[in-house]
Amino acid sequence: MRIRDIILPEDKIFFTLFKEMSQMISEASVTLNEITHELPDSTEKSHKVRQFEHKCDEITRRIYEQLNESLITPLEPEEISRLAPVMDDVMDRIDRVTQQICNYELAESNENLKEFSYLIMLSATEIIEAVSALEKLKSPEDVKSHTTEINRIYNLTIELQAKAVLDLFKTKDLLLIIKLKDVYEGLGRVMEKCNDVGHALNDIAMSHA
């Protein structure tokens, strides 16, 4: 019998917290997407993303507190310790790039920014689904289908980032080039962290097969 089959009800708090965190990530990604579509009129929404980031920090703190207090956990302690920080990293990166976009006071958006934020939003949705599948864990393949999609989206953003940088050099506005290149790199780091979450979820699911 696996540990998850005899888990005490109070120890299900870990999956509750992971699902809350994944929902915060998703809501922050939706706000980021709104910002990139509404520039320059929506920069005040960066405060909303910052609030999500603070909530994620609090959830991460609660996960570690609960881990120190629990005798039985639904996942191995080292698995929980791996998943919590990489999910928090996604939120941190979303917050950071959102602040970049707003602090740079970009006068308008472009299709590359919009597509990048849309792909991040899709990846965040897959994280929600993967966390939910991990809790049920009828089959590791249920988790893998979502983590594979996260990786596919990540590969798309690598191509998008390369295209976006090439497009930048078609303009003669040096300051805009510097600002947007920094933002594109920040968006790329969000997806790197999403992909790290996918790897962590996939590895954990496989270890409980």
Report pLDDT for 2.
Answer: 46
Report pLDDT for 101.
Answer: 93
Give the integer Cα–Cα distance in Å for 45 and 40: 11
Report pLDDT for 3.
Answer: 40
Report pLDDT for 9.
Answer: 52
Contact 198, 147 (CB under 8 A): yes
Give the integer Cα–Cα distance in Å for 90 and 122: 13
Report pLDDT for 172.
Answer: 86
Q: Is the pTM here over 0.85, yes or no?
A: yes
- Burial (0-12, 13-18, 19+ Cβ within 10 Å), 169: exposed
The pair of three-digit structure tokens given for residue 9, joined into one six-digit string = 């009800």
Closest CA to 108 of 187, 43, 203: 43
Q: How many domains does the chain have?
A: 1
Contact 143, 130 (CB under 8 A): yes
Q: What is the DSSP string of 67-103?
A: HHH-SS-SS-HHHHHHHHHHHHHHHHHHHHHHHHHHH
Return the CATH number at 122.
1.20.58.220
Residue 109 belongs to domain spanning? 3-207
Q: At what angle do helices 46-69 and 13-38 cross, to 10 degrees?
A: 170
Regions of the chain with pLDDT less than 70? 1-11
